[in-house]
Amino acid sequence: MDEKTKEHFVNKHAAQPIRVLVTGAAGQIAYSLLFSIAKGDVFGKDQPIVLLLLDISPMLPVLDGVVMELQDCALPLLKEVVSTDKEEVAFNNLDVAILVGSMPRRDGMERKDLLKANVAIFKSQGGALDKFAKKTVKVLVVGNPANTNCLIAAKSAPSIPKENFSCLTRLDHNRACSQVAIRCSVPATHVKNVIIWGNHSSTQYPDVHHCKVNMAGSDLPCFEAVKDDAWLKGDFIATVQQRGAAVIKARKLSSAMSAAKAICDHLRDIWSGTPEGEFISMGVYSTGNCYGVPEDLVYSFPVQIKDKSWKIVDGLAINDFSKSRMDASAAELIEERDMALSTLAV
């Protein structure tokens, strides 16, 4: 093969860039996230990327600075960066949409007012996905209330399969893994198959009944490894549920570095699949689940992923302790959904 033919062959078979959108792109989560995506930590070391960065008009000058920094990183996989405040530009022909931007809760704001503001945002962005993105687009909702925002976006994009939408509970999952690992004095990678059930809120249920901890080369059930049932059924659950609030209290800012890492983990697993025999947690469409969770919610389940498609892990034994907590989180999500849908109908 001569050099010209070889060059043609390489160019023809080089990976095509994927188009990845991050909303709320001038914010602190995005600032911790964009470098990891652009250098290949998420979609692979051979996958070129076009980054689309969306934020509200007043944040465009800040976004210009973010673009400058991405350019200054001189990353070989980053083919183009587009910053915009226009949905028709940001959502055009997307492969991946990471919806980080949302209305934060302000002092004195009622929950229904927060939901109403976010319904408007995610109805609009769902409509933009429907109109402009590829029908194969993978959508990850991060902005809170993430589960209900994800549901609204999915309902507002009827031409895109509901299976393409998920919301982030991987941060809660990682927090649970880390707490168990610290307790057992092992690396976090030695803890697998924790589950976050339900809402990304303080009603979430971190469940370790199916968790395994690798200690001295053997996989032990979590309760056997920890040897403290009271902690696992009490302070452990409360710590994971309240961790976001604890970070805000300490930092005076919400979790950004850990949220960005969780986003990377979530999307890498969608792109590359989960290891055999392991499952992770993500908020997905509940219809057809085998755990008695009401239909038409985005609810966090244990999932396994293959060929970019998730499947809820079926047949896990659920005791009464777990069921009552799963039900409580579902009840909160039903209330959120109904409140959101009532504002959607107005």
8 Å CB contact between 50 and 19: yes
Neighbours of 12 (CB within 10 A): 7
pLDDT less than 70: residues of the chain: 1-13, 109, 346
For 60-80, how does the pLDDT look when each residue is reduced to its tens digit (9 = 90+)?
Answer: 999 999 999 999 999 999 999
First vs last C-alpha separation in the chain: 66
| DSSP H or E run through 58 | none
pTM for the model stands at: 0.95
Its sign, for the CA torsion 238, 241, 245, 251, is positive
Active site residue 200: yes
Condensed to tens digits (0 to 9), the pLDDT of residues 73-109 reads: 999 999 999 999 999 999 999 999 999 999 887 777 6
Q: What is the pLDDT of residue 12?
A: 46
- pLDDT tens, residue by residue, 205-251: 999 999 999 999 999 999 999 999 999 999 999 999 999 999 999 99
Give the active site residue among 8, 13, 200, 209. 200
